[in-house]
Amino acid sequence: MTVPQHLGHLLHLTDSTLPIGAYTHSNGLETVIQQRRINDASALERYVRDVMAYNVVHNDAAYLSLAYDAIELNDLAAVVALESQLHASKTAREGREASLKLGMRLLKIFSRYPEHRSSPIAQCYQTALVQQETLGMYPVVFALYAVIGGIPKADTLYAFYYNNISAMVTNGVKLIPLSQMDGQDIVVKLRMDIDDWVEQSMNPDNEWLGASTVSFDIHAMQHERLYTRLYMS
């Protein structure tokens, strides 16, 4: 049996123990749980599905998809433009900062390895960061190392959605709280929708790119002023 060469890179890139601090962000979920709008497994499932279907599809995953294409073409100018647009589309300060922190930490890890040093687009991207010509947003850096690792675009998007789902469900289980088995049941149910979301993200509709998700943005803004907080966003 021949194992795909990109499998190891994919597993490393999406490892839940990767020290980039993803577990410290709830992306506004902590707000709605404190407001008692989510207090059981079915409500958490609906919320995470809505975030994926109405937010991530048209925002982070769409920009990841477009960045992947631009990186494959070694088009740094397009990557920089996409990153600037993604940054501007995040109206909540915590969301912008979270994406920047995750992206820069991911870059710090993978930039030490030979694949990065042998990739012209990775070197150009890092130079642009040093010269403050671009930003280091998480979906773009994720796309960069997916391309470098030879991970097919569809697999990259599937893993990105799965990581988002897993992180949100894990945080919801802790905050509500729910049992670990409840959390796994939610992940299994949501996995059934990932193929549809990936299909939408493979060729994003420019008219929907960065579509506003006002309620999710408000939750993120309200998070800054919660009386108690376990998460950074």
The enclosing H or E element of 76 equals: helix 76-89
- Name the pLDDT band for 231 (thresholds 50, 70, 90): confident
Band of residue 17 on the pLDDT scale cut at 50, 70, 90: confident
**C-alpha pair distances (Å), 222 with each of 30, 64, 86, 169, 217:** 10, 27, 21, 20, 9
For the entire predicted model, the pTM comes to: 0.95
| Helix runs in 149-204, H state only | 153-175, 180-202
- Per-residue pLDDT tens over the stretch 84-132: 999 999 988 888 999 999 999 999 999 999 988 899 999 999 999 999 9
